[in-house]
Amino acid sequence: MFTPKYPTPDTAPATAPVTPQTAVPAAAVPTVPAPASVVQTAPARPTVQLTPSSALALAAGGGAVVLVVGAVLVSMLLAVAITAVSVALVAVVLKSLLKDLNKHI
């Protein structure tokens, strides 16, 4: 039950063996700079082009996110305020009850 279960070995066909290359001394290799047409540069990052309609949609989406986050934060603040008021009211009532209880004893 607790013995490991190993996957079956890969059944892919073996590739042809790689023949080792003979090493060429560094002094024998000429160091000629490559022509400018051969030098490869990193591809430029693609630019995002906003059309007026996509910019409007992006602004509307951002505004909607701000409104939703604001509504959630305001509702949480309101819940905390209501809880604080109710706890304060309970404290006043309990204080009044204990005061009356002490007067009658």
What is the residue extent of each domain of the chain? 78-105
Question: Residue 83: phi, psi to the nearest 5?
Answer: -65, -40
pLDDT given at position 74: 98
pLDDT given at position 85: 98
Give tens-digit pLDDT for 2-23.
888 877 777 766 666 666 666 6
Higher-confidence position of 36 and 77: 77
* pTM above threshold 0.75: no
pLDDT given at position 27: 62
Structure confidence at residue 76 as a pLDDT band (50, 70, 90) = very high
Give tens-digit pLDDT for 32-68.
665 656 556 666 777 778 898 999 999 999 999 999 9
